[in-house]
Amino acid sequence: MDSISTSTLLIVLVILILLSAFFSSSETGLMSINRYKLRHLAQTKHKAARRVERLLARPDRLIGLILIGNNLVNILASAIATIVCIRLFGDFGVAVATFGLTIVVLIFGEVTPKTLAAMYPEKIAYPASWILKGLMVPLYPFVWLINGITSSLLKLLKIAPKQRDSLNTEELRTIVNEAGSMIPQRHQDMLLSILDLDKMTVENIMVPRSEIYAIDINDDWKTILRQLVHCAHTKILLYRDNIDDAVGFLHARDALRLIAKDQFSKSSLLRAVKEIYFIPEGTPLNVQLAKFQRNKERIGLIVDEYGDIQGLITLDDILEEIVGDFTTSMTPTPSDEVHPQPDGSFLVEGSVSIRELNKEMNWHLPTDGPRTLNGVILEYLEEIPQPNIGIRLAGYPIEILEVEHNMVTMARIMPQFYRSPASAEDDDD
């Protein structure tokens, strides 16, 4: 070293610091790169992406290579800096080299390159992978040795290497929410609705028992004809005396065929009905969607543990949870059941679905209990209320306006006076 000039050593020192910056930025860039975008590019035969993907397939080898290179150049830079500083500052050279090189390496060899790599991982990772792939060949014996020693130490500590976890539902939901303009808002809503299917059960979207359009086959013939003529559905449930004694579903097409053949009678209707498909209550929507597809069914009756019919659900009901309401839907939408008032309040019918109400109005009424506004109010009060009673439910002031047949049929909600439960507790404190 004594024969090498100070200027030459300074040039070598600068080169070593640049190499330190390369290894530091390479590590951050390769580890920060979007794995899913990388996989997509690799599938499209993007050469740099495929090269990076091969390197990341064995992260232990990649990290070992980078750390060997980084530590090698940093230690060599420390030795050269010490020699240069001793020549320039004498006995104080060691202290100057230690503190001076620490600051230089931190700024130019660590923080700056790693920050740039974190901001632009692809621009760093793709060209760096070409160099790292070349270095892997001569340095592989050292990488193998270091990894072998590391693995042995982990085994002694009884620590097993953990595979990279796949995304769970909540993480995927966060990715969709943060996609921004890359995914249209409508598509984001559809993707989020699909992710929500496993959290919802058939009871959340079923047509309740009291609202099922059905025909009692034991009624007189004129009544049956009138109900068939005025029915707005393509499939009609037939029953005897009580809806729990359901006979089957009659397709409107089959009824028209019988009329055309002049064979329209009660006995012919009973022969034309299709077998009922029963669905246990509590079935998640994603499971029921798969069952509809597997069993080639489009409609079913939901029954409880005692076999009593609780409601009706169709394939269209589940699809509407994903893509939104179809124009042919005969079920009232929240817009039809919510009436804005000049004072900022809303008159809301008691039969409105809480989930649909929250979705359309961006409210936060509880959805972990009854599915309608009437049900939520009755559960909260634990009794049938009288009209003109005011309550605060989940922070929303609600005035009960009409009660008929033991049901809240109309209520006034005043969101302009909404107070979150958390803020109410703070005030109480």
| Domains of the chain, residue spans | 6-157, 166-199, 207-323, 334-417
* Residue 117: CB atoms within 10 Å: 25
Q: Which two tokens stand for residue 390?
A: 């005011």
pLDDT at 194: 86
The DSSP symbol for 277 reads P
pLDDT in tens, 109-121: 899 999 999 999 9
d(CA 126, CA 26): 9
Class level of CATH domain 334-417: alpha beta
Closest listed residue to residue 48, CA positions, set 124, 103, 111, 107 = 124
Residue 360 or residue 24, greater confidence: 24
pLDDT at 90: 83
Which of 11-25, 240-254, 321-335 shows the lowest per-residue confidence on average (mean pLDDT)?
A: 321-335
**CB contact set of 189 (below 8 Å; sequence gap of 6+):** 324
pLDDT interval class at 163 (50, 70, 90)? low
Sheet holding 242-251, edge to edge: 214-216, 235-240, 242-251
Strand partners, 348: 338, 411
Q: Which two tokens stand for residue 15?
A: 């080169």
pLDDT interval class at 409 (50, 70, 90)? very high
pLDDT at 422: 60
Residue 271 confidence (pLDDT) above 90:
no
Class level of CATH domain 207-323: alpha beta
**Residue showing tokens 């006034």:** 412
pLDDT in tens, 329-364: 445 555 678 898 998 899 999 888 888 888 888 888
Which of 10-14, 185-189, 284-288, 391-395 shows the lowest per-residue confidence on average (mean pLDDT)?
A: 185-189
Note whether 390 and 398 are within 8 A (CB): yes
Note whether 410 and 349 are within 8 A (CB): yes
Residue 328 confidence (pLDDT) above 80:
no
Rounded average pLDDT over 8-23: 92
pLDDT at 89: 85
d(CA 32, CA 123): 11
